[in-house]
Structure 1
């Protein structure tokens, strides 16, 4: 910036007396040079502050612990769906029908290619002679064929171009165990929201396992987080136990859809860290499949440090789940509180009652078979994914892959 400022001053010195144009030009050059110097100064301050925070997080053992990770799983391109089981059972009382694999491809609800990546979308309204018609649209729920042990350490990464959002839309990218009845083996919600609500990173289990609030406050210091949720991860909806949800940086589905990049979750015996990394800032270590999440502090959205005493061995092997629900327990139950839902006009002459689709406002909207609603779903309610990867510590890579219980049961859910 000194060279730029010097050039402006030199121009000023060379101006002849009374040459107003030359003087004005020199003044503009000087102003631009000073502005550029100020900008570079601010960038230097920001870089210094960022380096200081990274040092602080490292010194206080915040977020993901350093590990030597290697690539254990990859779903990408034309073989993406080979790594997943298509589940057809809906357990959240939604206005969608989850399709089996062959039907999902034939109906255009899923597609994939090396060139354009992978798409999962909300499809057409079910034909009038289909079961549960006319209050269902076509969708999919995927469970990975492999599971990984959180105690060993695992880093799950989804690089996306678009995620679903909108009124009545309830997408989720999450982890769960299917060896035992839910939530006994643990469930972790990496990215989940409904309607226009913000995302809620949450952990569910069947016992009194608590967040380490001291560690949480220490490590999330300075980040613009929302209010706290429950600190007990025990989950029983009939007893108003909702799982643990720490203070976290929360964004709407529309924000995530318009800010493509990487969603990642690093999980080990001490807890889980969730990251959002914009496309333009994906670090070289991740691009080269040698991720170092301990250096990604600036990208942390949520930190779920688990109390070692109450949470030891709380989670069994976790499989990846990706699905798009409509209405149901969350999006349908919260319909009348949603501004996005109210803008649809489907709040009069109907009620919020997912048990009665014919009278339920949300179900009536999402299955309205009109150009407007079909276009609304087409333009908003879809995942576009470049890849899904899982990294585990180098020592674990040598062990044979652990098949998920969902895969072993052929997609049949465990019955209580």
Structure 2
């Protein structure tokens, strides 16, 4: 029989050490999109909306010719829905003209920072800023939703969607509230695992009325952490608010504070089999699986599709205004 102290030593050293978020790893600027950069770095998707929205995604030429995609005089990039036309009812039309764009490049371990002035808001809207596996097919390789909500929501939802055998660890140091822990897209009607922000003005009309803000998403084998800072917040780190800074950033340094969402996997999810090289996607759809089912409960009316078809003036706020999008990768 082994001496007790040796047995204890063997037991302790055999237990896998928990993954700890490094605060010393530096990341260098890899890619920046600002203004017209988006036209070269993204493709305009024209497929039927996979979430069954009352939406007609248009190609780049149409988007530019109809002023739905352009760089404004301040240098921000705009993506808008049509807010002038009555839409023909029924299957003769897919729905209201809108935008869905996907980056040509993909990134693995990375830090994504977006300086966002305005996001789509209002009844029937379902905007999202997210990443998804370039190789796929979905849900292989995973999905990371960084900004998402519907109708008149006021709090951002950050979520993950994966293949089976992936869940998030509860009781992490984060400001948000866990909505669900199972990331498997095949259960709970593809709810995924998500954290709802408790930071005011993190989504929708409140966000826009506050001149927007900054979102940062840090992805590594340790986990996926997300921060949000309102534009006028006194604690916005200078490397977040002042453009490229030196081109080098240390994620999660103390000045960043507690993340809104802090997902660590450890033994609950094998990172490398669930997440691979991701494209970046912006889209704006209407009604569909989420916004449509929540339309009446949001006090928006009895029928989402009729609302979209007949009320173009209701979509004056249905646009993205992106000041800059920056992607950093490990040094």
Counterparts of 2:229 and 2:196, CA distance in 1: 19
Q: Which sections of structure 1, spanning at least 5 residues, go unmatched?
A: 1-59, 348-360, 395-416
List gaps (5 residues or longer) in structure 2: 1-17
TM-score calculated relative to the size of structure 1: 0.67
Task: Give the CA deviation at 1:311.
Answer: 2.1
With over 3 angstroms needed to count, the CA separation of the structure-2 counterparts of 1:70 and 1:366, relative to structure 1, is: same
- Structure 1 stretches of 4+ with a deviation exceeding 4 A read 60-65, 124-135
TM-superposition CA deviations, 1:303-350 (whole Å, max 9, x none): 1112245323120101100011111111011112113x1xxxx32xxx
Could you say what secondary structure the match of 2:269 adopts? helix
Richer in strand (by share): 2
Q: State the distance in 1 between where 2:94 and 2:117 align.
A: 29
Report what 2:134 is aligned to. Answer: 178
Residue deviations 1:29-78, cap 9 Å, x none?
xxxxxxxxxxxxxxxxxxxxxxxxxxxxxxx9876643211111111122
Give yes or no for contact 1:84–1:142 (8 Å, CA) kept in 2: yes
Question: Helix, strand or coil for the counterpart of 2:160?
Answer: strand
Paired position in structure 2 for 1:267: 219
User: Is contact 2:167–2:265 with CA below 8 Å preserved after alignment?
Assistant: yes
CA–CA distance in structure 1, aligned partners of residues 86 and 65 of structure 2: 15
What SS does structure 2 have at the residue aligned with 1:236? coil
| Greater Rg over alpha carbons, structure | 1
Q: Which deviations, in whole Å up to 9, do the C-alpha atoms of 1:105-147 show, x marking residues without a partner?
A: 0011111146341111111466778994456111010111110
Question: Contact 1:143/1:320 (CA < 8 Å) preserved in 2?
Answer: yes
Question: Residues 168-317 of structure 1: matches in 2 within 5 Å?
Answer: 168-197=124-153, 198-214=155-171, 216=172, 219-220=173-174, 223=175, 225-226=176-177, 228-237=178-187, 240=189, 242-246=191-195, 248-249=197-198, 251-259=202-210, 260-280=212-232, 281=234, 282-286=236-240, 287=242, 288=245, 289-295=247-253, 296-298=255-257, 300-308=259-267, 310-313=269-272, 314-317=274-277
How many aligned residue pairs are there? 301
User: Matched residues in 2 for 1:84 and 1:241: separation?
Assistant: 27
Contact 1:144-1:319 within 8 A present in 2 as well:
yes
Contact 1:176 1:320 in 2 (8 A): yes
CA offset at residue 299 of structure 1?
Answer: 6.1
User: Using the alignment, how far apart are the partners of 1:328 and 1:382 within structure 2?
Assistant: 18
- Aligned-partner Cα distance in 1 for 2:56–2:305: 12
CA spacing shift, 1:375–1:241, aligned 2, 3 Å: closer
Question: Larger relative contact order (C-alpha < 8 A, sep ≥ 6)?
Answer: 2
Higher helix content, 1 or 2: 1
- Contact 2:56–2:94 at 8 Å: present in 1 too? no
- Aligned residue number for residue 58 of structure 2: 99
